[in-house]
Amino acid sequence: MLIAQATATDGQLLSEDTIRETIETGLRGRFTGARVLALIPDHTRTIPLPQLFPILVDALSDVTKLDFMVALGTHPGLSEESRCKLVGITLEERQTTYRHVGILNHEWDNPTALTEIGTISEDEMREMAGPAWHPSLSGDIAVQINRAILDYDHILIVGPSFPHEVVGISGGAKYMFPGIGGPDMINKFHWLGALITTMKIIGIKDTPVRDVIHTAATFVPTPITLLSLVVVGSGLAGMFIGDHIEAWGAAADLSRRHHIKWIEKPFQQVLSWCPPMYDELWTGGKAMYKLEPAVADGGELIIYAPHIDTVSVAHGQHIYALGYHVLPYFLNQWDKYKHHPTSAMAHSTHVKGIGTFEDGIERPRIQVTLASKISPEDCQTLNLGYRDPADIHPQEWADREDEGVLFVPKAGETLYRVRA
């Protein structure tokens, strides 16, 4: 059930007073004397954490222990300074005003930081996958999670929902899996999303991947409360506090209203400006995923990311070995590529988009071009097009929809879809 909620009227955002009152109503006095672990996103998700952090700490002032953990998934860990910046405090404030509050990183690749809490059987996975089932999903899934959850009496998830290329709509229990999960779960559910394809799953609320995440969440022994947010611009259009499935469901419905932009016809060329919050192509690929449906067959999508110089800190070696390819490229040569992590292969197919691979010839539906600090030679190795970002002047791309050209100045969170 929902404990507290607030939704702004159309065209408006929630006021500071409404945000505070909703958090007070939903959380104050609810965990008195308990040890609470709050899960929060990193800088690759838009959320007004500097505004929310002091309100949350105040509302939870009667707990015996309060720590925040950055649900990194497989993203690189953050320095202490970066973690402080994430929640809007200085290192000095961390040692004084907030010295009683921990701000921790998740460590997905550290086996000693994980504990196994259950297993999703191959039969269960096959049933949830439905028509997307492929032998590459074979085997039981070890459901691992950061063992720190065992040291707390309650988990509080604080995070936004947006259209998402793997799960459909992000948020909710996704902050546990993959947020603070282990590699087996991360690989399998990313690959399931890839088998369905981004074009079919993104922006959809109820998906097989969401079913897998909610199944994994049933093994979590610690009670869970969700503060689910719908972020618009720099503010909030909605807040929902309560049971993690119900609160996420309400936020997902509202996200679909705010974060899907319907267009009448696809464009021949799209300049998708990747904002600085995505500091490697692993996350910067969102500038492709949210715009893929808006590109006409045979068209071009340019990921304009003049600040990006890295494909992925954690997965770069695999992505350079794989390159970016359409899904059938891997499925039709499975024995050649099966030793690579399927999460890396999934990312590869998400960035390349849908297409075919027949008689040894790959035919992507659209051309994906990268305009970044990644060199032309590396782009060729990665099987992506290249443009020099210095030759692109974004203002020259604006207001050209009538020419079949779309410019998106902050790509990655709003999904563009063609109206049926």
Domain boundary among 258, 291, 325: 258
Separation CA 233–CA 227 (nearest Å): 19
Residue-level pLDDT at 233: 92
What is the Cα–Cα distance from 133 to 148, expressed in whole angstroms?
33
Per-residue pLDDT of the chain (420 residues; tens, 9 = 90+): 899 999 999 889 999 999 999 999 999 999 999 999 999 999 999 999 999 999 999 999 999 999 999 999 888 899 999 999 999 999 999 999 999 999 999 998 899 999 999 999 999 999 999 999 999 999 999 999 999 999 999 999 999 999 999 999 999 999 999 999 999 999 999 999 999 999 999 999 999 999 999 999 999 999 999 999 999 998 999 999 999 999 999 999 999 999 999 999 999 999 999 999 999 999 999 999 999 999 999 999 999 999 999 999 999 999 999 999 999 999 999 999 999 999 999 999 999 999 999 999 999 999 999 999 999 999 999 999 999 999 999 999 999 999 999 999 999 999 999 998
Cβ atoms of 227 and 156 within 8 Å: the answer is yes
**Residue 367 is part of a domain; what is its CATH number?**
3.90.226.30
Q: Same domain, yes or no, for 329 and 410?
A: yes
Q: Is the peptide bond before 178 cis (omega within 30 degrees of 0)?
A: yes
Instruction: Judge if 253 and 267 occupy the same domain.
Output: no
On whether both 91 and 53 belong to a single domain, the answer is yes
Residues 314, 166, single domain; the answer is no
Residue 11 is predicted with a pLDDT of: 87
Query: Which candidate, 16, 1, 77, 85, places its Cα nearest to that of 50?
Result: 85
pLDDT digits (tens, 9 = 90+) for 291-310: 999 999 999 999 999 999 99
Indicate the residue among 258, 276, 292 that finishes a domain.
Answer: 258
CA distances in angstroms from 143 to 59, 119, 199, 217, listed in the order given: 32, 5, 27, 9
Residues 272, 400, single domain; the answer is yes
Whether residue 49 is found in the same domain as residue 140: yes
User: Alpha helix (H) ranges present in 37-156?
Assistant: 49-59, 80-87, 91-95, 122-129
Tell me the one-letter amino acid at 224. I
**Shared-domain flag, residues 138 and 283:** no
Domain carrying residue 219: 2-258
One domain, residues 252 and 320: no
Q: What angle do CA 302, 203, 374 make, to 5 degrees?
A: 25
The CATH number given to whatever domain includes residue 32 is 3.40.50.11440
What are the helix (H) ranges across 228-383?
Answer: 244-258, 281-284, 286-289, 316-322, 327-331, 334-337, 342-352, 376-382
pLDDT at residue number 270: 98
Question: Both 58 and 179 in a single domain?
Answer: yes
What would you measure as the largest C-alpha separation in the chain, in angstroms?
66
For 8, which DSSP code?
P
CA angle, residues 403, 406, 408, in degrees to nearest 5: 160
State how many domains the chain has: 2
State how far the Cα of 158 lies from the Cα of 273, in Å rounded to an integer.
27
Q: Which two tokens stand for residue 76?
A: 């690189």
One domain for residues 39 and 159: yes
Burial of 391 (C-beta count, 10 Å sphere; 0-12/13-18/19+) = exposed
Q: What are the φ and ψ backbone dihedral angles of 69, each rounded to 5 degrees?
A: -120, 130
Residue after which a domain boundary falls, among 258, 286, 314:
258
Residue 177: strand, helix, or coil: coil
CA angle, 103 then 169 then 14, to 5°: 65
DSSP state, 119?
E
- 8 A C-beta contact, residue 222 and residue 67: no
The CA-to-CA distance between both ends of the chain, in Å, stands at: 35
- Amino acid in the structure at residue 19: I
Residue 209: name the closest of 287, 115, 110, 137 by CA: 137
| pLDDT value for 324 | 98
HSE (CB half, 13 Å, CA atoms) of 399? 2
Tokens of 191: 């690959």
What is the number of alpha carbons within 13 Å of residue 290 lying toward its C-beta? 29
- The CA radius of gyration of the chain, in Å to the nearest whole number, is 21
Question: What is the number of helices (H) and of strands (E) in the chain?
Answer: 16, 20
Same-domain pairing of 12 and 152: yes
Q: Is residue 156 located within the same domain as residue 299?
A: no
